[in-house]
Amino acid sequence: MEDKQKAKNQILHRLKMHGAQTAATLAEQLQVSPMAIRQHLQTLQAEGWVTYREERRPQGRPVKLWQLTERSGNFFPDSHADLMVDLLRGVETVFGAAGLEKLLAERTNRQVQSYTPRLAEVAGSSDWRQRVVVLAQCRSQEGYMAEVIEQPDHSLLLVENHCPINAAARTCQMLCQSELEVFKTLLGPAVSIERIEHIMQGDRRCAYRVMSET
């Protein structure tokens, strides 16, 4: 029973990190038989964690691409969502929009102060790529399931596969802007960063294109 649950957890994690996958791809990645993967997927589908869509290929039958359902967000940590939402609403009610902006500015400053010592270990204009990697490591430790992906144009894609403050961000979208400001401050003016995918806009993940301006 424990092994089955472990396998199902691994499937959910893979789909969260990499998006829709075929059963054959999952089987290869997890080094188990396709039949076992299909059994786990059917169980996860019955439990409401995954679903699939069919994709036509140039040859042969359509393939099933398995993906997470909206409900699956409950499987991943959400950083005391209800408490954070209530606090944000309370701040805006008591102190108004200006008070909420001050609170978010203070949070931004604290995030920068928290990340700076880690990034300082790889400081220097020639090390911007390593700083992005360290930033992703910091974010992963906070539950964002972050990774860095090299791009053909030599830019980097900073990907956050999970948003542990999702509920709060939906209540206060200024949170997302403050996160972007943190990244810009940490990486400095010699590096450009642009959000190109956004969970709040219906994307599977948040993704940022990062590249050197020099």
Q: For residue 89, what pLDDT is reported?
A: 78
The tens digit of pLDDT for each residue in 76-126 reads 765 556 666 677 778 778 778 888 888 888 988 999 999 999 998 876 545
Report the pLDDT averaged over residues 149-173. Answer: 88
Shared domain check, 173 and 92: yes
CATH code of the domain in which 171 resides: 3.30.1380
Residue finishing a domain among 27, 43, 75: 75
pLDDT band (50, 70, 90) for residue 194:
very high
Q: For residue 176, is pLDDT > 70?
A: yes
Shared domain check, 114 and 165: yes
Shared domain check, 163 and 208: yes
Shared domain check, 57 and 101: no
- Give the closest residue to 170 by CA, choosing from 88, 77, 48, 72: 88
CA separation for the pair 140, 199 (Å, rounded): 16
Token pair 């931004």: residue = 108
Q: What percent of the chain has pLDDT over 90?
A: 42
| CA-to-CA separations, 31 to 7, 14, 81, in angstroms, rounded | 11, 13, 35
Shared domain check, 186 and 202: yes
CATH code of the domain in which 16 resides: 1.10.10.10
Shared domain check, 97 and 198: yes
Residue finishing a domain among 40, 75, 110: 75
Token pair 């860095």: residue = 148
Report the pLDDT averaged over residues 11-19. Answer: 89
Shared domain check, 101 and 62: no
Shared domain check, 91 and 190: yes
- Average pLDDT taken over every residue of the chain: 86
Burial tier of 208 (Cβ tally within 10 Å: 0-12, 13-18, 19+)? buried
The tens digit of pLDDT for each residue in 26-72 reads 999 999 898 999 999 999 998 888 999 988 888 878 889 999 887 77
Shared domain check, 67 and 93: no
Token pair 């900073």: residue = 158
CA separation for the pair 59, 96 (Å, rounded): 59
Tokens of 140: 């992963």
The whole domain housing 107 covers 81-212
pTM (two decimals): 0.68
Shared domain check, 110 and 65: no
Residue finishing a domain among 19, 44, 75: 75
Shared domain check, 13 and 70: yes
Tokens of 147: 């990774």
Structural contact between residues 161 and 205, judged by C-beta atoms closer than 8 angstroms: yes
Q: For residue 199, is pLDDT > 50?
A: yes
Residue type, 165: I
Residues 99, 100, 104, 109, Cα dihedral to 10°: 10
Higher pLDDT residue, 126 or 182? Answer: 182
Number of structural domains found in the chain: 2
Shared domain check, 169 and 206: yes
Secondary structure (3-state) at 173: coil
